[in-house]
């Protein structure tokens, strides 16, 4: 559908969608694409979806009106858990390029092509880079990707093979993001606009549009009854932000009611800025409500995480640009935020693989850890219908998983050698 306008999620200001936009020039707020859903209500119905192609573009009426650059992304399986009744695994590992990032990049590159952009740039913790490279290749657009030097080898190789220009950085995704911004700024100030267009997480409006289709799918695949909770591994948080937007849109379309799932963030214990902000905010006496205006005023933000370290590469995001949106969603949905250690994540990767037949990315397996913890604490009951997101395929992390295995085995054997104190083995 034609986008009516882009709206700042901080100040509510409107911007035209007929040209490329990054963030709100006044306050840096994330821009959301808005459609005329009122006039779509009744015309675009749930029944209209039957028989449509099994990709995220089946929801074309609520996506930008442009010719899709598609590799078949979306409409991934919703697998009932073999282990827990009422639990589902939404397996995003089956997307092109092996992760949920395909959705966002399909939408972002579609619009980049629509606008006639020739060059795109983005920092990546790994999978976003691979997805951007693939969709840019399919669209005939140049991609410039900045990644930490120690990303999984699959991410480096796929970017290379897709023909992207890759810069490996001694640092984290936040350092990569700074480099992208600086390069574009420098190019602009020198009068040539050749630095490319910044498609960093939440710094353009359309990656959210692609990822919101996960929210539509959760509803459609569960027969239009949203679950009681959704567990989402949170790095940049766009999946959660997109799904929340989708729920609001579906309510406006008359497809669902006002009930929402508890939205649950899981982060790695070695990089948990959202969890820390959530816990600090919850425990602060007389804390101001995070949602003081309908546009999620930025009263509640996270602090950058120092020395971020985890083998779940996609969760190694020291500070999410959309933290104010994520925290707002956690609060409005009565959700929560929990951590998983690398050891717990590694065990969960093996557990899911051996019990469910799902070889999940470490980020995805963290969802299982969160479920186990929240079930044990009573936050979730066995009767609650819960969707756990596996955000990617383990096949992209074989080197990381093997290294982590060796580390865990080494630590175990070291523990065993402390004078026989720990044993017997
Ligand atoms: Zn604004």
Distance 296 CA to ligand 1 centre (A): 11
What are the residues whose beta carbons fall under 8 Å from the beta carbon of 410, sequence distance 6 or more? none
pLDDT at 290: 44
Q: Which of 77-81, 141-145, 169-173, 253-257 comes out lowest in average pLDDT?
A: 169-173
As a whole number of angstroms, the distance between CA 300 and CA 293 comes to: 12
- 177-196 burial, b at 16+ Cβ within 10 Å, e below that, comes to bebbbebbeeeeeeeeeebb
DSSP-derived letter for residue 15 is E
Distance 242 CA to ligand 1 centre (A): 18
3-state secondary structure of 32: strand
pLDDT, one tens digit per residue, over 128-154 is 999 999 999 999 999 999 999 999 999
Distance 29 CA to ligand 1 centre (A): 5
pLDDT, one tens digit per residue, over 10-61 is 999 999 999 999 999 999 999 999 999 999 999 999 999 999 999 999 999 9
3-state secondary structure of 107: helix
3-state secondary structure of 166: strand
pLDDT, one tens digit per residue, over 225-277 is 999 999 999 999 999 999 999 999 999 999 999 999 999 999 999 999 999 99
Distance 34 CA to ligand 1 centre (A): 15
pLDDT at 86: 98
Distance 195 CA to ligand 1 centre (A): 24
Check pLDDT > 80 for residue 299: no
pLDDT, one tens digit per residue, over 404-413 is 999 989 988 8
- Mean pLDDT, all residues of the chain: 93
Query: What band does 183 get if pLDDT is binned at 50, 70 and 90?
Result: confident
pLDDT at 186: 85
Determine if the peptide bond prior to 424 is cis (ω within 30°). Answer: yes
Distance 353 CA to ligand 1 centre (A): 44
In this structure, are residues 265 and 275 in contact, taking their beta carbons and an 8 Å threshold? yes
Check pLDDT > 80 for residue 422: no
Distance 9 CA to ligand 1 centre (A): 7
Taking a 5 Å cut-off on Cβ, the residues next to ion ligand 1 are 8, 10-11, 13, 24, 26-27, 29
pLDDT at 193: 66
Distance 181 CA to ligand 1 centre (A): 19
Entry pTM: 0.93
pLDDT, one tens digit per residue, over 94-141 is 999 999 999 999 999 999 999 999 999 999 988 999 999 999 999 999
DSSP-derived letter for residue 304 is P
Check pLDDT > 70 for residue 295: no
In this structure, are residues 209 and 246 in contact, taking their beta carbons and an 8 Å threshold? no
Percentage of the chain exceeding pLDDT 70: 94
Distance 4 CA to ligand 1 centre (A): 17
Tokens of 103: 């959705």
Distance 12 CA to ligand 1 centre (A): 6
Return the closest-CA partner of residue 62 out of 107, 96, 30: 107
Q: How far is CA 341 from CA 171, 180, 347, in A?
A: 21, 31, 10
pLDDT, one tens digit per residue, over 344-360 is 999 999 999 999 999 99
Q: Computed from CA positions of residues 308, 363, 387, 248, in that sequence, does the dihedral angle turn out positive or negative?
A: positive
pLDDT at 110: 98
Distance 293 CA to ligand 1 centre (A): 13
pLDDT, one tens digit per residue, over 32-46 is 999 999 999 999 999
Query: What band does 189 get if pLDDT is binned at 50, 70 and 90?
Result: confident
> What average pLDDT does the segment 162-174 reach?
94
As a whole number of angstroms, the distance between CA 366 and CA 90 comes to: 13
């Amino acid at each position: 559908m034609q986008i009516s306008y882009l709206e700042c999620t901080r100040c509510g200001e409107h911007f035209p969608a007929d040209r490329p936009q990054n963030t709100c020039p006044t306050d840096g707020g994330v821009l959301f694409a808005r459609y005329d859903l009122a006039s779509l209500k009744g015309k675009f119905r749930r029944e209209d979806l039957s028989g449509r192609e099994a990709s995220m573009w089946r929801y074309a009426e609520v996506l930008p009106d442009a010719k899709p650059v598609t590799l078949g992304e979306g409409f991934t399986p919703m697998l009932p858990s073999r282990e827990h009744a009422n639990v589902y695994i939404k397996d995003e590992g089956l997307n092109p390029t092996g992760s949920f990032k395909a959705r966002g990049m399909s939408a972002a590159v579609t619009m980049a092509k629509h606008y006639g952009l020739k060059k795109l740039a983005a920092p990546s913790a790994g999978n976003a880079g691979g997805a951007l490279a693939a969709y840019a290749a399919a669209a005939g657009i140049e991609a410039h990707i900045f990644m930490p030097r120690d990303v999984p080898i699959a991410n480096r190789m796929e970017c290379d093979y897709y023909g992207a220009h890759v810069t490996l950085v001694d640092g984290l995704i936040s350092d990569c993001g700074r480099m992208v911004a600086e390069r574009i700024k420098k190019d602009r100030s020198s009068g040539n606009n050749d630095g490319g267009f910044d498609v960093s997480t939440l710094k353009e409006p359309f990656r959210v549009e692609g990822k919101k289709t996960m929210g539509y799918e959760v509803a459609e695949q569960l027969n239009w009854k949203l679950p009681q909770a959704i567990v989402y591994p949170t790095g940049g948080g766009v999946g959660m932000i997109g799904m929340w937007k989708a729920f609001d849109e579906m309510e406006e379309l008359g497809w669902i009611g006002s009930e929402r799932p508890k939205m649950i963030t899981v982060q790695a214990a070695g990089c948990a800025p959202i969890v820390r902000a959530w816990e600090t905010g919850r425990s602060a006496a007389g804390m101001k409500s995070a949602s003081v205006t309908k546009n999620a005023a930025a009263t509640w933000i996270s602090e950058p995480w120092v020395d971020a370290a985890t083998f779940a590469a996609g969760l190694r995001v020291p500070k999410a640009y959309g933290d104010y949106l994520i925290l707002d969603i956690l609060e409005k949905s009565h959700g929560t935020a929990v951590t998983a250690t690398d050891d717990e994540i590694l065990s969960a990767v093996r557990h899911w693989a051996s019990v469910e037949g799902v070889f999940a990315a470490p980020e995805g397996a963290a969802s299982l850890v969160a479920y186990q913890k929240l079930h044990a604490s009573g936050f979730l009951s066995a009767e609650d219908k819960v969707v756990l997101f596996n955000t990617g395929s383990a096949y992209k992390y074989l080197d990381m998983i093997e290294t982590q295995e060796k580390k865990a085995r080494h630590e175990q054997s070291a523990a065993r050698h402390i004078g026989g104190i720990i044993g017997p083995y």
